[in-house]
Amino acid sequence: MYFRIFLMAASMILAGCGDSNNVPLAGDIESVAVEANTTEMYAIQQVQMRATASYTHGIEDRNVTENVQWRESNRSIAFVDAVGLVSGGEYGGNVEIEGSYKQFGNSVTLHVVALDAVKIVSPETNLSQEQTLQLRAEGTFEDGTVLDATESMFWTVSAGDSNATIEQNGTLYTGDANGTIDINVSRYDINGSLQLTVLP
pLDDT at 7 > cutoff 70:
no
- Where are the CATH 2.60.40.10 domain residues in the chain? 115-199
Q: How far apart are the first and last CA of the chain?
A: 103
- Where are the CATH 2.60.40.1080 domain residues in the chain? 18-113
User: Quick one: pLDDT at residue 17?
Assistant: 43
Sheet of 40-42, strands arranged across? 40-42, 104-113, 93-101, 69-72
Smallest CA-to-CA distance from 191 within 149, 161, 159 is with 149
Mean pLDDT for the chain? 89
Give this prediction's pTM: 0.81
Q: Going by DSSP bridges, is the β-strand pair 136-141/132-134 parallel, antiparallel, or unpaired?
A: unpaired
Tell me which architecture the domain covering 18-113 has in CATH. Answer: Sandwich (2.60)
Q: Cα(95)–Cα(110) distance, rounded to whole angstroms?
A: 5
pLDDT at 66 > cutoff 60:
yes
Q: Which residues have a Cβ under 8 Å from the Cβ of 14 and sit 6 or more positions away?
A: none
Does domain 115-199 match CATH 2.60.40.10? yes
67-85 pLDDT tens trace: 999 999 999 999 999 999 9
Supply the DSSP string of 34-69, one letter for each residue.
EEES-SEEETT-EEEEEEEEEESTTPPPEE-GGGSE
**If you ran DSSP here, which 8-state letter would residue 146 be given?**
E
Q: Which residues of 32-64 are buried (b: 16+ CB within 10 A; e: fewer)?
A: bebebeeeebbbbbebebbbbbebeeebeeeeb
User: Quick one: pLDDT at residue 14?
Assistant: 37
CB 51 within 8 A of CB 84: yes
Instruction: Provide the CA 102 distance to its chain's centre, in angstroms.
Output: 24
pLDDT at 13 > cutoff 80:
no
User: Quick one: pLDDT at residue 188?
Assistant: 97
